Chain A
Amino acid sequence: MADLILSPNLPRPDEFYANLIAAHEGLTDDESAALNARLILILANHIGDSEVLEEALRIARSEA
């Protein structure tokens, strides 16, 4: 049961961000939405910790 990490944790943030945007290149909005959905599911499974996931959902939702 780890806590959700909210301090900087990406070793190369600019690179990750560029890769994320590049992954969507040339896709329609619908295709992009589908990619995002797949990505979330893959990452959620990797995290696996339901408390961390619930906390992440809560924070993401509160920014909306």
Chain B
Amino acid sequence: MFQDRYTLAFRLYPYARSVDQDAAAPAHHRVVVVGGGPIGLATALDLGRQGHPVLLLDDHEGVGQGSKAICFAKRTMEIAARYGCGSKLVEKGVIWNLGKVFHDDRKIYDFNLLPEDGHRFPAFINLQQPYFERFLHEQIVAEQAKGAPIEIRGKNRVDAVEVKDDGVALDVMTPEGGYRITADWLIACDGASSPTRKMMGLDFEGKVFQDSFLIADIRMKSESFPTERWFWFEPWFKSGASTLLHKQPDDVWRVDFQIGWDVDRKEELREEKIRARLDAMLGAGVEYDLVWSSIYTFQCRRMKKFRHGRVIFAGDSAHQVSPFGARGANSGIQDVDNLGWKLGLVLEGRAPDRLIDSYDEERRHGADENILNSTRSTEFITPKTKMSHIFRNAVLELAEHHDFARGLVNSGRLSVPCTYDGLSLTGADALPGGPDRTRPGSPCPDAPLGAGFLLDRLGGGGFTLLTIDAEAPETFVEDGITVTRLALSAGDGPALRERYLGGAASAVYLLRPDQHVTARWDRFDAAAVRTALRHACAKD
């Protein structure tokens, strides 16, 4: 009746009977989150830190074991830093910059991510997803201790959703039987096979790639494999049509073999069979433990709409990508960051309900960009026709000797946040000569400020008016929304000019709570800022 679908890496929230189970009438909640994967946990954390009561229901008692995400992008660390757990990720994670690409038995080239200086966080870290989720949960516990109204109920499975105009009613199953609750808002973070989506009869369309990947995490004490990303196309050791080797914390390596579409899963997952592939690749003498293995097929698809009245989909429930490019969890965390402040303002009655529509618009735009990129990578790695295979190999052959072809090699374009160019909330660009990378809609790039960093100084959860060598009031209130100024001078940090001023002598940026640029000017103009702020809150 209540069976785990997966084994746990960490048991974090054991089942405990809640008062709702003994209530005479269904208890009411403002916000319920279904699913305690990374996206559900981050959603609860975001809302709870704002002081909004949030109830998270998960059908297990903690974090699942298994080979899922390992690459976390700078943007995710920056968001986690705002939640209070950014440093933990970096301390535990493995920082890597160097990648090598092989074809058959030849190294065709190597690349350095060449991260730009002057950011608090590295471009990427590798970290097992269970750690990522555990750190989010630890932060939830820390916030609860400070009074954040977050409640997590383990082994509480949502079995039915009844959608109304002004909320939902949920049937929840526990090991001790079922109960019913109601909620104003439901955030569905219940993963790619989202029961919520299915119960509501909603679409999830896209492309399935006709290939399978055997993923093995192995522990070895080896000096011969450095902290780099190694990718083989058609490797000489024949363990797969492509193979990826990538370092994780705790002396664990991710190995990823592309093994074809028509495979006997049970047979391929036999330990001897997996070891045969690994031995061919690593060489006979290398000793290792098999930590985890599984077979995946990949797809790129999304829902047509992420918002359905009072039900909002975030993370894999709304969109799914192939892992090439590490865009799954990383984009889901951006969903949360986008939704958090908007839902917060709507819950407080400080912005109209239609602000939530902009979540739908902006994050569908993000999902499309991620799907496009990961589809292209997947097509390069797993060519579908003879001709695309010929072109793929022509690129690889040329790349060995000619620089130009390296830009065409696509073993994954790593996740970067998207710019909300031309979307509803994005305002005016009135900064002549301003850098392209900080045009309205862009996520703010970090920059060093004295001993610290710019992003740590922005916002504290609200709107910020960043002024560089420009006058402006210290705070600014418009229709219940406060904007706080951060006054800087070009001399305060070496990267400010390049990242925020460009050819301009002064700049005023209006920044959203999720640190995206709303609008920018060369000087403070109260009427213009007021308009942009109202616009960014969907007020007109």
Contacts and interface: CB of A to CB of B under 8 A. Distances in A.
A45 to B, nearest CB: 4
A38 B404 CA distance: 12
Contact of B398 (A30, A33, A42): A42
Interface stretch (B53-61, B202-210, B386-394, B433-441): B386-394
Nearest to B391: A37
B408 interface: yes
B405 A34 contact: no
B407 to A, nearest CB: 9
A23 interface: no
Contacts of A30: 390
Contact residues on B (Cβ < 8 Å of other chain), bracket = 10 to 19
B391 A45 contact: no
B404 A37 contact: no
Nearest to B393: A34
B390 A34 contact: yes
A41 B407 CA distance: 12
A8 B402 CA distance: 30
B397 interface: yes
Contacts of B449: none
A38 B398 contact: yes
B301 to A, nearest CB: 27
Interface residues of A: mostly helix, strand, loop or mixed?
Answer: helix
A40 B408 CA distance: 13
A34 B394 contact: yes
A33 B392 CA distance: 12
Contacts of A37: 390-391, 393-394
Contacts of B404: 45
Nearest to A46: B404
A41 B405 contact: yes
Nearest to A48: B404
Contacts of A38: 394, 397-398
B10 to A, nearest CB: 48
Nearest to B394: A37
Interface string A29-59: 0100110011011100100000000000000
Nearest to B407: A45
A16 to B, nearest CB: 21
Contacts of A33: 387, 390
B395 interface: yes
A37 B398 CA distance: 10
Interface in B374-417: 387, 390-391, 393-395, 397-398, 402, 404-405, 408
A33 B405 CA distance: 18
A49 B347 CA distance: 50
A41 B398 contact: yes
23 contacts: A30-B390, A33-B387, A33-B390, A34-B390, A34-B393, A34-B394, A34-B397, A37-B390, A37-B391, A37-B393, A37-B394, A38-B394, A38-B397, A40-B391, A40-B394, A41-B394, A41-B395, A41-B398, A41-B408, A42-B398, A42-B402, A45-B404, A45-B405
Shortest 8 CB-CB contacts between residues of A and residues of B: A37-B394, A45-B404, A38-B394, A37-B391, A37-B390, A33-B390, A34-B390, A41-B394
Given A33-B390, A38-B394, A40-B394, 18 more contacts: A30-B390, A33-B387, A34-B390, A34-B393, A34-B394, A34-B397, A37-B390, A37-B391, A37-B393, A40-B391, A41-B391, A41-B394, A41-B395, A41-B398, A42-B398, A42-B402, A45-B404, A45-B405
Interface of B: 387, 390-391, 393-395, 397-398, 402, 404-405, 408
Interface of A: 30, 33-34, 37-38, 40-42, 45
